[in-house]
């Protein structure tokens, strides 16, 4: 009997289906060794040697693996093909002590062909990848374990810091401050609706002012707008220019971890953690390739297969003469890895019901469509631009207005991947007019606008920014963003945009104020590059840690000795504390507490401003201004699940069990 060891039970079940009785497939249930929870676990004086210990809750699993390994003819360790997977493989080898019969196998899709090929071509454990994971783990432990007690002392008990997580909080805090400093400026857009004098041309069309004389139109206030509108009311209109061209729009590349997480947020409103969780299920059940990747590479067999599929399903006009290849943007992507794609392009329908949860099906169909689309012909549009001159001869003022429109004449890749409504181009059909043709004015008007502040980050834009800055890697985006929400450093508003909490702002300001180099964007990206260099064998794992530790340790001592305790900003509610009121009635004139909103480990709560002298607390209810649609007595409030996801419930719970993922306020607006 041969033994195959993987990380998860789902992956084990999928492998067992097609490997047969010659193999016993077992799961480690994740990491079986880790740094200890109760101590630092890093010997700083001995070249930062890590003290990896058996994970206590994996004791039964470890015992079972040791027992099975003694009977096995060959042991194949088939953990995931990345740093974490390689570390698991090394820890399995360390525990089993069976080097002579232990082999490492890797595959990027869980199919019979890929797994069989991997078993037939085993290799050694990649020590460079193991070292990269060790370096990351040691670095994160040094930062977190040393900074957390400092935060307890200088900010508040129970807080923690992370090397990458704190940089994510910094991004959100700085964005919020940028929004706070923003001052809206008024501007106006000017439009005219015109119609051809040619009776054969029936349709009117709308043009927008783009030039006044030879300068770009900038209309800053109502007075300026009224003057221009008065001129346009009396002006003579004619077609100044017509431009027609064919526009081709190429398909998007296949998904990487980053773009899949962004699409999950944009299309389904999912968190990156949920998108990755669903993708992991799809991978472990054999439906898609490995989902943690920043490569756009595609296997030749996969490209050949999808091209045959396109020709058969949609015909020759949808198939390019040659395959389309995409250049990987990430400098550190491993080209041996592939982009995320279905393992079998012919499997596209009938994946709902008991076997496939609805969310699994939705994500699979999106991955399938994106992959198929990337090898199809471009979509083609007829684009028309009409420029209209409007001249008010009394004042010799010339205005130029423009209208643009597109009509899709060939759908191409959009046959399988239609653009969603939230991203769809507005299709404007323009009439067939001729140059110098005179036009009649139907009406003219102005729209008052105001410049908008920078948008807050959502899941998609935050991941895109992290990727652009070089912070984090495919395996870290989702858990990093999830962690800072669980710690209540950032939270989502009703629009699913990230906002910092008061405690998040306090922690950020303390860390950035005292450790500017440690949490600087370029430094964090530099450390990620060092980890990549370790993985590629270009750097010894201990070198970047030595370089980091000495200045960091000195700074720690200085900050602990000389920094002031941080005061966390609180929101006053305009109510006096009930306990203090009672104390004053009893004769204690010093009890003048007010109720304030604080942020704790489990979210917001209300307490007395005189804490810890007065320990009065009550629940914080985030009201949305709507009466409960079910009981008609309570108010709808924002609540959170154990995993931090927002939902709406009744303030009279448990008497009223009303709950909804959707805001009743938005339902009413419909």
CATH number of the structural domain spanning residue 606 = 3.30.65
Query: With contact defined as beta carbons under 8 Å apart, do 256 and 293 qualify?
Result: yes
Q: Judge whether residue 203 has pLDDT over 90.
A: no
For 9-154, list the strands marked E by DSSP.
Answer: 23-27, 33-34, 42-43, 49-50, 53-54, 75-77, 102-104
Q: Judge whether residue 219 has pLDDT over 90.
A: yes
Shared domain check, 263 and 363 = yes
Shared domain check, 663 and 515 = no
Shared domain check, 385 and 245 = yes
Shared domain check, 144 and 209 = no
Shared domain check, 482 and 468 = yes
Active site residues: 290
Count, residues in the chain: 670
Tell me the DSSP string of 326-349: -----TT--TTS--B-BS-TT--S
Q: Judge whether residue 583 has pLDDT over 90.
A: no
Domain that holds residue 437: 186-249+379-450
- Of 106-115, 188-197, 398-407, 599-608, the range with the lowest mean pLDDT is 599-608
| CB neighbour class for 502 (10 Å; exposed up to 12, middle 13-18, buried from 19) | middle
Q: What is the pLDDT of residues 456-491, one digit of tens each?
A: 999 999 999 999 999 988 888 999 999 999 999 999
Tokens of 59: 């004791």
Residue where a domain terminates, one of 578, 598, 620: 620
pLDDT (0 to 100) of residue 348: 74
Shared domain check, 194 and 285 = no
Residue 357 pLDDT level (bands cut at 50, 70, 90): confident
Q: What percent of the chain has pLDDT over 90?
A: 76
Tell me the DSSP string of 269-319: ---HHHHHHHHHHHHHTTSBS-S--------HHHHHHHHHHHHHHH-GGGS
Shared domain check, 641 and 657 = yes
Q: How many domains does the chain have?
A: 6
pLDDT (0 to 100) of residue 337: 81
Shared domain check, 115 and 63 = yes
pLDDT (0 to 100) of residue 181: 96
Mean pLDDT, the chain, rounded, equals 91
| Residue 424 within a domain | yes
Shared domain check, 53 and 196 = no
Residue 424 pLDDT level (bands cut at 50, 70, 90): very low
Shared domain check, 558 and 601 = no
Residue 334 pLDDT level (bands cut at 50, 70, 90): very low
Indicate if the alpha-carbon torsion angle 478, 482, 483, 489 is positive or negative.
positive
Residue 669 pLDDT level (bands cut at 50, 70, 90): very low
Residue where a domain terminates, one of 417, 450, 483: 450
| Residue 130 within a domain | no
| Residue 131 within a domain | no
pLDDT (0 to 100) of residue 613: 85
pLDDT (0 to 100) of residue 666: 56
Residue where a domain terminates, one of 528, 546, 562: 562
Q: Among candidates 11, 477, 478, 459, which has minimal Cα distance to 277?
A: 478
| Residue 416 within a domain | yes
Q: Which residue has the tokens 């949808």?
A: 318
Distance CA 354, CA 364 (A): 15
Do β-strands 622-627 and 617-619 pair in parallel, antiparallel, or remain unpaired?
unpaired
């Amino acid at each position: 009997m041969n033994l195959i060891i993987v990380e998860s039970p789902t992956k084990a079940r999928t492998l067992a289906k097609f490997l047969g009785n010659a193999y016993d497939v077992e799961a480690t249930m994740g990491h079986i060794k880790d740094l200890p929870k109760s101590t630092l676990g890093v010997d700083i004086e001995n070249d930062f040697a890590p003290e990896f210990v058996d994970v206590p809750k994996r004791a039964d699993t470890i015992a079972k693996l040791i027992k099975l390994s003694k009977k096995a003819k060959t042991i194949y360790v088939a953990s995931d093909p990345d740093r974490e997977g390689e570390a698991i493989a090394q820890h399995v080898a360390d525990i089993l002590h069976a080097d002579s019969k232990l082999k490492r196998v890797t595959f990027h899709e869980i199919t019979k062909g890929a797994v069989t090929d991997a078993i037939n071509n085993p290799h050694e454990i990649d020590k460079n990848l193991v070292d990269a994971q060790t370096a990351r783990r040691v670095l994160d432990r040094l930062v977190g374990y040393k900074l957390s007690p400092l935060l307890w002392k200088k900010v508040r008990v129970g807080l923690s810091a992370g090397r990458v997580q704190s940089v994510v909080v910094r991004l959100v805090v700085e964005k919020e401050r940028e929004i706070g400093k923003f001052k809206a400026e008024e501007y106006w857009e000017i439009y005219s609706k015109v119609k051809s004098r040619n009776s054969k041309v029936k349709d009117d069309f709308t043009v927008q002012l783009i030039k006044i004389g030879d300068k770009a139109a900038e209309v800053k206030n109502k007075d300026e707008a009224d003057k221009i509108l008065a001129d346009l009311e009396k002006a003579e209109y004619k077609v100044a220019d017509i431009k027609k061209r064919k526009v081709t729009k190429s398909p998007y590349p296949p998904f990487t971890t980053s773009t899949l997480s962004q699409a999950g947020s944009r299309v389904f409103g999912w968190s990156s953690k949920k998108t990755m969780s669903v993708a992991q299920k799809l991978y472990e059940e054999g439906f898609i390739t490995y989902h943690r990747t920043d490569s756009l590479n595609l296997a030749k067999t996969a490209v050949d297969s999808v091209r045959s599929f396109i020709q058969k399903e949609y015909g020759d006009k949808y198939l390019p003469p040659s395959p389309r290849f995409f250049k990987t943007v990430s400098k550190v992507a491993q080209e041996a890895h592939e982009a995320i794609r279905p393992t079998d392009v012919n499997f596209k329908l009938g994946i709902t019901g008991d076997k496939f949860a609805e969310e699994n099906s939705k994500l699979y169909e999106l991955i399938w469509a994106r992959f198929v689309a990337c090898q199809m012909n471009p979509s083609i549009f007829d684009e028309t631009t009409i420029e209209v001159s409007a001249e008010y001869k009394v004042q010799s003022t010339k205005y130029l207005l423009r209208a643009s429109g597109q009509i899709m004449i060939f759908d191409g890749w959009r046959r399988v991947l239609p653009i969603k409504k939230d991203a769809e181009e507005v299709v404007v059909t323009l009439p067939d007019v001729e140059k110098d043709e005179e036009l009649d004015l139907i009406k003219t008007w102005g729209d008052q606008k105001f410049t908008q502040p920078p948008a807050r980050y959502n899941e998609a834009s935050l991941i895109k920014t992290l990727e652009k800055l070089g912070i984090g890697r495919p395996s870290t985006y989702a858990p990093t963003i999830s962690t800072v929400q669980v710690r209540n450093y950032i939270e989502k508003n009703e629009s699913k945009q990230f906002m910092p909490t008061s405690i998040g702002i306090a922690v950020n300001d303390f860390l950035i104020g005292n450790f500017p180099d440690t949490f600087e964007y370029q430094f964090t990206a530099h450390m990620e590059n060092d980890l990549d260099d370790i993985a590629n064998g270009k750097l010894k794992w201990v070198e970047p840690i030595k370089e980091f530790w000495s200045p960091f340790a000195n700074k720690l001592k200085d900050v602990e000795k000389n920094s002031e305790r941080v005061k966390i900003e609180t929101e006053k509610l305009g109510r006096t504390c009930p306990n203090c009121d009672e104390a004053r009635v009893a004769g204690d004139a010093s009890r003048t507490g007010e109720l304030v909103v604080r942020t704790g480990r489990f979210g917001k709560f209300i307490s007395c401003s005189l804490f810890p002298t007065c320990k009065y607390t009550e629940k914080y209810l985030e009201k949305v201004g709507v009466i409960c649609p079910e009981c008609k007595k309570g108010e709808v409030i924002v609540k959170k699940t154990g995993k931090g996801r927002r939902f709406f419930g009744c303030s009279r719970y448990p008497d009223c069990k009303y709950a909804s993922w959707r805001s009743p306020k938005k339902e009413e607006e419909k």
